[in-house]
Chains A and B, each alone.
Chain A
Amino acid sequence: MYASVLRNDSISNPPSTAHDSPSVFAIQGLECWYGTHQVIRKVSLIIPERRITAIIGPSGCGKSTLIRCLNRINDLIPGFRMSGHILFKGRELDDPAIDPLTIRLKVGMVFQKPNPFPKSIYENVAYGPRIWELHRDRRLDDHVEKSLRKAALWDEVKDKLGQNALTLSGGQQQRLCIARALAVEPEVLLLDEPCSALDPIATGKIEELLLELKQRYTLVIVTHNMQQAARVSDETGFLLMGELIEFGPTEKLFTTPGDSRTEAYITGRFG
């Protein structure tokens, strides 16, 4: 029901999408709780395909909770509860017929702190394809190389694939995590403050990479760094105390915000 409504973009409070890119996620009236504590209040927005959507807002505003709903990884947290609708390519994400594990095959995630497995670089990338039985032997080797190339890491690690991933620098580790996520060939990549533990040079490399990945993947990035959102994203949503205050094209949100609270936040008066 909601699928058709959302695709026609005719819901009562339509999130603005100033382009004709088809939507990957359509979120409608999303509310989330941890126990009795409500962290997301009536959030509706549309995440367009092959674009970078940024979610900004002060600490504790619910940004991470919001994107963690999109691969249902919040389900693992005891006491987590949500209501409302999230459509992934027209299908309800919490349809009981859908195994949440298969959602995570299509919707990858990169976390705030680089979290490579304490195994070899090769094993990190090969883990996803192995558990999904996607490739074997020689084809797996090629696939690992392809994934590392997509994450712009291949040239730096091609001679030491057997080395423990923890020997890499923080920025390399984060690109390895991106390669690991890309190795299962997702359509969407969720990035939860992927640069907050990195120095400016490593951050620059990741941002460059994101702009490249946008050609083939839909990216959703949570960041508390407004410059980063302004540099890389096409759409930006501003979240405050669990409410989506404003959502629209990044350029418009940063130059002529429609809400005084957005303006106050992006000009640095709080947050």
Chain B
Amino acid sequence: MPDRHPSKIVERLFKLMALGALVIALGTLTALLVDALLDGGGRLNWQFLTSFPSRKPEQAGIASALVGTIYLMILTAACALPIGVGAALYLEEYVGKHWLARVIEVNIANLAGVPSIIYGLLGLELFVRMMGLGRSLLAGALTMALLVLPIVIIATREALRTVPSSIREASYALGASRWQTIWHQVLPLALPGILTGSILALSRAIGEAAPLITMGALTYIAFLPDSLLAPFTALPIQIFNWVSRPQPGFHANAAAGIVVLLAVLLIMNGLAVYVRQRAQKRLYL
């Protein structure tokens, strides 16, 4: 019997390489966060969160952008979730293994990879101009909904697939109709997966500046949007705007804005984890 396994050195080497990869990934992120905190930490206070943009960097705040982002996300979810979940339900539960479903599936996967600026162009033409919504909150939300729709559909289909077929059969065997089976058994079981996937999709959208800039969202707004058709701004646009100013005061504001954006992102992702764990506890005890 040999004293040690022949691949012991390789094992160690591989473990070190994996650790190295983790350090590089997390290290970069930490460096970015620390940098943003150092630059913008001084500006992070209640006044910053509640003030509107200003020509003077020390008086400028993020209120309209933060509220705009929150409204935008709620509206985006309200548009994208019903359509995305409905489309996935149809593809997964009604069409089944038809070849057309596979063609659509490939196309949806491709749509998920289309650069976000293209969605901005589409939004500009379709919602802002053709539908005459203007550069409004609603037009922005619809554009963002298009952007996240493929991800919501893919996540929902994955979630539906994890529902065991034995549950569907149990329901059908009792004489339940397709809709009853979906509504009472399949959807409740798939819901945590759908929600997790959708929240992650939204957190991708929250950091997107390109489509909103393309469709022409404003950058300087000194009031909160009061209707669906009101003009709006969002965190990434505000940050982009501040970064492009020459005064160093605005750069500090941009850094602080980044921290706020990351905090919102973290809260959303935390919510996704919480939703998943709670639902899993309910399912598997």
**Residues of A near any B CB (own CB < 8 A):** 71, 73, 76, 78, 101-105, 108-109, 111, 113, 115-118, 127-128, 131-132, 164, 166-167, 177, 180-181, 184
Contacts and interface: CB of A to CB of B under 8 A. Distances in A.
Interface stretch (B68-76, B82-90, B139-147, B168-176): B168-176
Given A117-B185, A118-B283, A167-B285, A181 B173 contact: yes
Given A101-B177, A166-B284, A177 B170 contact: yes
B174 A131 contact: yes
B277 interface: no
A131 B173 contact: no
A174 B176 CA distance: 20
Given A118-B189, A118-B283, A104 B166 contact: no
Interface in B206-258: none
Interface of B: 96-97, 164, 166-167, 169-177, 180, 184-185, 189, 282-285
Given A78-B97, A164-B285, A117 B167 contact: yes
Contacts of A105: 175
B166 A113 contact: yes
Given A117-B167, A131-B180, A166 B174 contact: no
A126 to B, nearest CB: 11
Given A78-B97, A117-B185, A118-B189, A180 B285 contact: no
Given A78-B97, A111-B169, A167-B285, A180 B174 contact: yes
A117 B170 contact: yes
Given A78-B97, A164-B285, A101 B170 contact: no
Nearest to B175: A104
A184 B175 contact: yes
10 contacts: A78-B96, A108-B174, A113-B166, A115-B166, A117-B185, A118-B283, A131-B174, A164-B285, A166-B283, A180-B174
A47 B175 CA distance: 22
Q: Which of B97, B171, B173, B284 has the most CB of A within 10 A?
A: B173
Nearest to A115: B166
B159 to A, nearest CB: 15
Contacts of B177: 101, 131
A78 B97 CA distance: 8
Nearest to A118: B283
Given A78-B97, A111-B169, A127 B189 contact: no
Top 5 nearest A-B pairs (CB, nearest first) are: A104-B175, A115-B166, A109-B173, A128-B174, A105-B175
Nearest to A184: B174
Q: Which of B164, B172, B189, B283 has the most CB of A within 10 A?
A: B172
Contacts of A131: 174-177, 180, 184
B167 A73 contact: no
Given A101-B177, A117-B171, A131-B176, 10 more contacts: A78-B96, A103-B175, A105-B175, A111-B169, A118-B167, A128-B176, A131-B174, A166-B283, A177-B170, A184-B174
Contacts of B282: 118, 164
Contact of B170 (A76, A102, A115): A115
Contact of A127 (B97, B174, B285): B174
A127 B169 contact: no
Q: Which of B97, B169, B174, B185 has the most CB of A within 10 A?
A: B174
A148 B280 CA distance: 27
Nearest to A108: B173
Contacts of B167: 115, 117-118
A111 B175 contact: no
A108 B175 CA distance: 9
Contacts of A76: 169, 172
Given A127-B184, A131-B180, A73 B173 contact: yes
Nearest to A106: B175
Contacts of A167: 285
A115 B175 contact: no
A74 to B, nearest CB: 11
A132 B285 CA distance: 30
B169 A115 contact: yes
A186 to B, nearest CB: 9
A42 to B, nearest CB: 27
B14 to A, nearest CB: 39
A128 B175 contact: yes
Contacts of B284: 118, 166
B102 to A, nearest CB: 13
